Structure 1
């Protein structure tokens, strides 16, 4: 049914959103005269991590982004492995002839840290990452389709956030909502009408590799 599977990372491949939030707090708090909430950090999401640092501490960008990369790497113990079933899914879909592609809003630096942590550095045919200027997933999905010679009807995106649903819709491809992470918004996701709703990696596997 599908030929190309396009994956989000945070909350889809691994439970890395809590790491991102904790790393941002560790990086920016020394430059603020107050505590910063999870909600304030999340409200800046859309651009890659550089964009969040720029939004939160624009006068200390260089120090802040360096501190973020360091903290993000140090905090990998919070989610040391990919979600159960992800490695097997990537292995089995590749063997079945699917093209596995990563389209994430993460910066390349943090994506590489987590891919290395999870042992997934060679599991994706293409890796497209975020931009500090703003959300770019729709454009990167279209780029992935073009560069792999995939028709939109032959591709399926899987991601956990409401923005993943809207990005897939904007790129005119089907979307599977990944609701297996620790930070999810099921009501907001449902309101955007994903093509599939998956409560586990096994649910998604059944869509692409039905038994």
Structure 2
């Protein structure tokens, strides 16, 4: 194993509640109605810009600016990444493993979170999302090409069913992260990832067992 590619929301940090709270504060006043978690989550796949465009297309710029402002202001509700994640990333870097981030987050919110956690320099490469739709397969392929990696030398770690399909489409083994607050282990199991790992510690043990000698 030469590289580990991570998703962010629900994998590196439990930021999905933060995202939903920020969307609600930004969108509800402009939409003039309340939104359920389900309505917001149903738009996920594209970046946050895509969610804003789907729910309040006529207030796109105002909605996006409001979202980013609330996202930054509320970030303390998700004050730290998942326990053990920072240490795992540091460990992988020390072992000479390429550590990349391929996330559906938009560039601006991704930058805000990495700065908040002091993680700006932990990833060797970062691919962010698109407002036009899911692009994780393309992001994974970009990482492979940029570092001259074979798919078999790489793993992707993500918490969503869509991560399973995106990783498989790129030919990369998928490790399902089942430690986030929105994780549905039964649903993940139905899509048969290569492994389901319930804690960051389980992920670390799995990766340590596959480090190149």
TM interval, short-chain normalised = over 0.9
8 A contact 1:4–1:101 mirrored in 2: yes
CA positional deviation for 1:185: 1.6
CA drift of 1:180 comes to 0.6
1:22-65 per-position Cα deviation (integer Å, ceiling 9, x unaligned): 00000001112221111000001110000000000000001000
Q: Partner of 2:93 in structure 1? A: 94
Who is 1:58 aligned against?
57
- 8 Å CA contact 1:162–1:185 kept in 2: the answer is no
Per-residue deviation at 1:97? 1.1
- Distance between the aligned counterparts of 2:64 and 2:87, measured in 1? 34
Q: How far does residue 105 in structure 1 lie from its aligned partner after superposition?
A: 0.2
What are structure 1's unaligned runs of at least 5 residues? none
1:114 equivalent in structure 2: 113
Distance 1:118 1:36 in 2: 29
What's the secondary structure of 1:127's corresponding residue?
Answer: strand
Q: Whole-Å Cα distance in 1 between the matches of residues 168 and 187 of structure 2?
A: 15
In 1: Cα distance, 2:107 partner to 2:90 partner: 23
User: 1:167 maps to which residue?
Assistant: 166
Instruction: List aligned pairs for 1:15-164, cutoff 5 A.
Output: 15-164=14-163
| Structure 1 position 205, deviation (Å) | 0.4
- Secondary structure, aligned partner of 1:102: strand
Residue segments in structure 2 that go unaligned for 5+ positions in a row: none
Counterpart CA distance in 2 for 1:66 and 1:170 is 34
Q: Cα RMSD between the aligned structures?
A: 1.0
Q: What is the 5 A alignment of 1:156-195?
A: 156-195=155-194
- SS, match of residue 26 in structure 1: helix
| C-alpha distance after superposition, 1:52-87 (max 9, x if no partner) | 000000000010000000010011111111111111
Q: Aligned partners of 1:80, 1:65: CA distance in 2, in Å? A: 22
| Cα distance in 2 between the residues matched to 1:87 and 1:25 | 29
How far is the alpha carbon of 1:207 from its aligned partner? Answer: 1.1
- Distance in structure 2 (CA, Å) of the matches to 1:183 and 1:73: 21
Q: Give deviations 1:108-165, integer Å, cap 9, x for gaps.
A: 1001111111111000000000000000000110111000111000000000010111
Pairwise CA distance, 1:210: 3.2
